[in-house]
Amino acid sequence: MDTSDESIDATTTIQLDGSDSSAGDASTYITDYSWDLDTYIDSDGDGVTDNDVDQKPVKNAEWTNVWPGEYKI
């Protein structure tokens, strides 16, 4: 049986929406949005895995080719 043409792409696209974010009080404003899309990988090499900016500076971001699983962002 030839299975070379039987591949499955199990990825999806996730829409991230930060429009309900707040800075904490009425006198403070959010001036920039940054998304750390994988808190288990140190993509900026500083030794801290949950502070990497993987996508910015948009309030609403699109994360593509996401494999099935649970993610903390």
Reported as a single tens digit per residue, the pLDDT across 45-65 is: 999 988 888 777 778 888 888
Cα–Cα distance for residue pair 42/48, rounded to 1 Å = 6
Confidence of residue 13 (pLDDT cuts 50, 70, 90): confident
- Within a domain: 42: yes
Structural domain count of the chain: 1
pTM of the predicted model as reported, rounded to 2 decimal places = 0.55
> For residue 43, what are its two tokens?
């993509």
Q: Which domain holds residue 66?
A: 11-20+28-73
Asked whether residue 57 is domain-assigned, the answer is yes
> Is the residue at 2 inside a domain?
no
In the prediction, which pLDDT does 46 show?
93
Asked if the structure places residue 4 within a domain, the reply is no
Beta bridge partner(s), residue 17: 60
